[in-house]
Chain A
Amino acid sequence: MAQLTFREAISRGIAQEMRRDETVLAIGEDIGAAGGVFKGTVGLFEEFGPLRVRDTPISEQAILGAAMGAAMTGLKPIAEIMFSDFFAVCWDIVVNQIAKSRYMTNGQVSFPLVIRSGNGGGLRFGAQHSQSVENWAMMVPGLKVVVPSNALDVVGLMAAAVRDPDPVIFLEAKCLYSSKMEVPDGDIVDSLGRAKVLRSGGDATLVALGAMVPKALKAAEELAGVGIDCTVIDVRSLVPLDTVTILREVTATGRLFTVEENPRLCGWGGELSSIVSEEIFYDLDGPVVRITTPHIPLPAADALEDMAIPSVERIVATVSTSMNA
């Protein structure tokens, strides 16, 4: 058992899989000797060498094209797109090529690859290095989407993503890179498509993802102090989506609050809200409430960014207002 940061958990998870399977390779900008701009790949180059941990030029289409071509010919690449905002310059490879080709070829090819990317705000980087793009990925048929919220899940979900025979978008909340937790020694293998109930309460269910999970937990603690007892669910995997767990927990409390970092329109909570209203509408005791970043590009100034991204205070205020209405 060791204290592990979120960023150390990334290299531990990758190393675990690279030791097990020599067809697992890592590519990306500065991921080699430099250890990644967010230090998420420290030690991999030293352990596995330049043929398995390859630095690339600043060529996102080449990075993901190479990953795709390698995946369809027997390898299991883990490609890094440094900031998820940069998906915009290589989205063709992700959406038109990787996501569609298995279906279009009637199942002739598979894409066992992982695309990791630093996602989301909180670091005052401004609008082009801070977006939460999980909703971009979620809406594309053919992509699996995983968003861990802590170091233990990073290791286990990385293993699950690498071992999955389909393409997985693995989004790492940048503002969690330095967060720490105890992680057991030895191999850790989780599974995709499983949400986790982190806290049980009888009054309302808060469903959160990635960097919003620790905020939802903190908010739940504060809400308990004013008599509102909340269940908190970490979604962890948007595709496949664990609707069984979520619907069960929302049914139990009768109230759903989503906590989303993505801008409002077409965020994952919108889909969840739709599923809840179609399938358990008569079990609800009040409206579904979405707590999201407003529909704006993220501002750089700390004062403004803190107003934009859902905060513990906003979660507490929104939930208590709605529960007391």
Chain B
Amino acid sequence: MTTTTSHTGLDLEAKLELYRVQVALRQFETRAYDLFLENYVKGTSHLSLGQEAIAAGFAAAMRPDDYTFATYRGHAHTLARGVPMTPVLAELMGRTNGLMAGKGGSMHLTSVEHGVLGSYAVIGAHLPIACGAAWSAQYRGTEQVAVCFFGDGSTNIGAFHEALNLAAIWKLPVVFVCENNLWMEYTRTTEITAVPNPAADRASAYGLESIIVDGNDVDAVYEVATTAMARARAGGGPSMIEALTYRHGGHSRADPGKYRPEAEVAEWLARDPIPMYHARLLAEGATEAQLVEIEHSVAAEVEVATEEAKAGPTPGADLLMKDVWADGGSAWRN
């Protein structure tokens, strides 16, 4: 088993960008929650508060034409690939200036032009789909890599195992990333999983190395991501990375997360990836003013996105019957 923690490999400018992305994800998710409480965001949403380092670290290691496959907890992975805040927030609010004009919602964020090939809301389904994108890249010889994020709960469904086996036998350029936040919805993952590390302990069954990384340390995530992606690009096949992390809130917007012991929550809040990284950057030569400037500029960006999203029109009937088929329509008969 390899446990990776590293603080090396990036210059200060690159690390400030990693900080900016994490702060942006944090402030976006906080705003999304507030807008839910104000009834601007309808339906459900699953926030990545506390898990920002994984999205930020991987996105930084990806090429612009690489593919991201995310789950319903996908706001962070979508934004980290460079999708602007306004269309994401507007999508959550069901507006026509949303990323999918309001037709997908929080759980299905997709932006093909940014390589975000979708957020999938049925557990496990996107692992084989990511294999397909990787198969396509392999066949076309493009050296693109598919990165597939999923939660610890996904490791117990059949599609997980089918995908790992296929990726291994076809040596597909895919990186599987388990965001192990210790809780499968409302149940502790170790209570319903045969092994202590739900992804890493299964890797060897498919001939893969067991890799566990501190998912709250963006530098460590970046390093392990870079290694796995280089391997995939070079034809070395898939990797499985288990990133240990913790969600600060509940599973979804309706869940206060009260089933978790207070001491455990406190322990992980003390390991919040953003203050930790803030302290590290100061130690590595950044100034407090630089970091505050980043936080303020992100806050301003969130304000603008909020106003733009709120100003977006609600969709009309013209959108309802569009785009079932590639011809743009929905006719099933002549």
Whether a CB of chain B sits under 8 angstroms from the CB of A300 is no
Q: Which residues in chain A, 7-66, are within 8 Å of chain B measured between CB atoms? A: 25, 51, 54, 56-57, 59, 61-62, 64-66
- Closest-CB distance, B294 to chain A (whole angstroms): 31
Considering the chains assembled together, what is the distance between the CA atoms of A275 and B4 in angstroms? 63
A104-B104 contact in complex given A68-B132, A70-B132, A241-B333, C-beta closer than 8 Å: yes
Whether a CB of chain A sits under 8 angstroms from the CB of B263 is no
**CB-CB contacts of A201-241 with B at 8 A, as 1s and 0s?**
00000000000000000000000000000000000000111
Q: What is the number of residues of chain A that contact chain B, defined by CB distance less than 8 Å?
A: 48
Considering the chains assembled together, what is the distance between the CA atoms of A101 and B125 in angstroms? 13
- Closest-CB distance, A31 to chain B (whole angstroms): 15
Contacts of A244 in B (CB 8 A): 334
The stretch of B38-46, B180-188, B324-332 that contacts the partner chain = B324-332
Considering the chains assembled together, what is the distance between the CA atoms of A70 and B140 in angstroms? 10
A25-B139 contact in complex given A69-B128, A240-B331, C-beta closer than 8 Å: yes
Considering the chains assembled together, what is the distance between the CA atoms of A240 and B67 in angstroms? 32
Name the one of A25, A65, A66, A142 contacting B125, with C-beta atoms under 8 angstroms: A65
Contacts of B319 in A (CB 8 A): 106
Q: Which residues in chain A, 76-124, are within 8 Å of chain B measured between CB atoms? A: 77, 92-93, 96-97, 101-110, 112
A96-B101 contact in complex given A65-B132, A66-B166, A105-B108, C-beta closer than 8 Å: no
Which partner residue on chain B sits nearest A242 by CB separation?
B334
Whether a CB of chain B sits under 8 angstroms from the CB of A193 is yes
Whether a CB of chain B sits under 8 angstroms from the CB of A75 is yes
Chain A CB within 10 Å, residue with most, of B101, B122, B127, B136: B136
Q: What is the number of residues of chain B that contact chain A, defined by CB distance less than 8 Å?
A: 51
Q: Which residues in chain B, 293-334, are within 8 Å of chain A measured between CB atoms? A: 319, 322-328, 330-334
Name the one of B125, B326, B334 contacting A240, with C-beta atoms under 8 angstroms: B334
Considering the chains assembled together, what is the distance between the CA atoms of A68 and B99 in angstroms? 21
Whether a CB of chain A sits under 8 angstroms from the CB of B129 is yes
- Closest-CB distance, A190 to chain B (whole angstroms): 16
A74-B136 contact in complex given A57-B166, A93-B128, C-beta closer than 8 Å: yes
Q: Establish whether residues B110 and A57, one from each chain, have CB atoms under 8 Å apart when the complex forms.
A: no
Whether a CB of chain A sits under 8 angstroms from the CB of B239 is no
Whether a CB of chain A sits under 8 angstroms from the CB of B282 is no
Q: Establish whether residues B118 and A93, one from each chain, have CB atoms under 8 Å apart when the complex forms.
A: no
A sample of 12 more A-B contacts (CB under 8 A), given A61-B163, A64-B128, A243-B333, is: A56-B166, A59-B162, A66-B128, A66-B129, A68-B128, A73-B132, A73-B140, A102-B325, A105-B112, A106-B99, A109-B117, A240-B332
A/B interface sample: 13 pairs, CB < 8 A? A56-B166, A69-B129, A69-B136, A73-B67, A93-B125, A102-B325, A104-B108, A105-B100, A106-B322, A166-B326, A241-B332, A241-B333, A242-B333
3 interchain residue pairs of minimum CB distance: A69-B132, A65-B128, A165-B326
Task: List chain A positions with a Cβ less than 8 A from chain B.
Answer: 25, 51, 54, 56-57, 59, 61-62, 64-75, 77, 92-93, 96-97, 101-110, 112, 141-142, 165-166, 193, 239-244, 275
